[in-house]
Amino acid sequence: MPVYEYTALDKGGKSLSGIIDADSAMAARQKLRGTGIYPVDVKETSARPKDQASAPTSFSAFFRGVKAVELSAVTRQLAILLAAGVPLVSALEGLIAQLDNPNFKRIMAHVKESVNEGNSLAYSLSNHPKIFSQIYVNMVRAGEASGSLDVVLDRLAEFSEHQQALRGRFRSALAYPIFMACVATLILFFLITFIMPNIMRIFSEMQQTLPTATVALMGFSNFLKSYWWLIFLAAAAGALLVKQFKKSAKGQYLWDEMKIRLPIVGPINRKMALARFGRTLGSLLQSGVALLTALQIVRNIVNNVPIAQVIDKTVDDIQEGKTLAAPLSQSRWFPPIMVQMITVGEQSGELEKMLHKIADMYEEEAQARIMAVTAMLEPAMILCMGLVVGFIVISILLPIFEMNQLVR
């Protein structure tokens, strides 16, 4: 059934807009009039291609994309409706009616139209891969195959909400240090480029030999004031080069390896990748997805090439008859304790539960490390700023002390 976008007026003359499904434009107009709405303009909207399913087509559309919180809310509501015995098409109609996001509303209308034509929900969702990820579609497919779609959707909503909460805690922990670093940088930039030249001009006019620290500070101040744009240009060029380097296979590998090797942030990135591995694999297996299929999905979720290569080797070894723990134990990126827990899970038949425990463990450890690092950042930034300000003050006071000695 086609989907139409409409602009209409209600009984009070207020302008309305939205989407509606009907057999034709005339049927859409009649359907709107039946609800007490008077259509002004009705036009058919067509589904976009797969690779453009959620890509913004304008500047304003970029800000009207589908948020993760909107997707998890719809997933939770759909699970509740299906568990209550509401047919799938009717449940989708109810969800579409209460959506505020026009882009999401249009996409869900196309999903409902596809389901109404006899396609499965998983197939209908797979036409919009930018909105519904691979893990989402595969879990829905497993739920439809097992007849427990409502349970799987509930797990999907819980998984999404858990990931959002984890990202929210990390962002909250890093927000204050990042804000402090930006403010400190701006203050020092203003101090060196605008305040310092006025003070140093007094010393220059006296034609007196200045201390080395003062000369160095004056030179840096003049350079920063005259060529500050060059610093920003160099930073932008460096960022562009890094971005281009990451596009190559070798560059992406080296970048991801560096992310998990760095002294302070490396262990955090590694723990987060392992937590993502455990949480995603556990959720997929719990929903009835086959192990090999689940691992192929997980390799794209971990967002790290070295760990993804280990997963690829694991898939090959499992096809040869090995267990999940055996190939992981040969990798330096998977700690022995994680391998032991997976081994116990395989032997006891509770692999899904053990993978969730692994995810909980590494998420808690990553969060604890982030809190410890952010707690150290504030005094470290204060110390660094104090040293810089102290150097500036000393550079100003040294010529004054020398002038006092000459006067005496």
Residues 107, 61: contact at Cβ < 8 Å?
Answer: no
What's the distance, CA 209 to chain centroid? Answer: 56
SS3 of residue 43 by DSSP: strand
Contact status, residue 365 vs residue 355, Cβ threshold 8 Å: no
- Asked whether residue 234 carries a pLDDT value surpassing 80, the answer given is yes
Q: How many domains does the chain have?
A: 1
| Strand-strand pairing, 38-45 and 15-21 | unpaired
pTM assigned to the model: 0.67
Cβ burial 31-61 (10 Å sphere, 16+ → b, else e): bbeeeebebeebeeeebbeeeebbeeeeeee
Residue 19 falls inside a structural domain: no
Place of tokens 């999905």: 297
- What's the rounded Cα separation, in Å, for the pair 183 and 380? 15
Q: CATH code at 405?
A: 1.20.81.30
- The answer as to whether 405 is a domain residue is yes
Task: Report whether 125 contacts 138 (CB < 8 A).
Answer: no
Interatomic CA distance for residues 120 and 115, integer angstroms: 6
User: pLDDT over 70 for what percent of the chain?
Assistant: 91
* Rounded mean pLDDT, 103-116: 88
The predicted pLDDT at position 340 comes to 95
Has residue 238 been placed in a domain? yes
Q: Which pLDDT score, from 0 to 100, does residue 58 have?
A: 35
The string of pLDDT tens digits covering residues 17-56 is 777 767 777 877 777 777 777 777 877 765 444 444 333 3
Q: Report the mean per-residue pLDDT for the chain.
A: 82
380 in any annotated domain = yes
How is residue 233 written in tokens?
């240009």
Measured CA to CA, the distance from residue 145 to residue 137 in angstroms comes to 12
76 falls within a domain: no
- Within-domain flag for 317: yes
Report the alpha-carbon distance of residue 291 to residue 196 in Å, rounded.
Answer: 65
Q: What is the pLDDT of residues 299-317, one digit of tens each?
A: 877 878 999 999 999 999 9
How far is 252 from 245, CA to CA, in rounded Å?
A: 7
**Does residue 259 sit within a domain?**
yes
Task: Say which DSSP state 14 is in.
Answer: -
Query: Does 197 reside within a domain?
Result: yes
Are the C-beta atoms of 294 and 277 separated by less than 8 Å? no
HSE, side-chain direction, 13 A CA sphere, residue 193: 13
131: Cβ contacts below 8 Å, ≥ 6 apart: 53, 54, 66, 71, 104, 107, 125
Cα separation, 280 vs 158, whole angstroms: 12
Q: What is the Cβ-side half-sphere exposure of residue 204, based on CA atoms within 13 angstroms?
A: 11
Beta bridge partners of 16: 8
Domain ranges, residue 266: 157-408
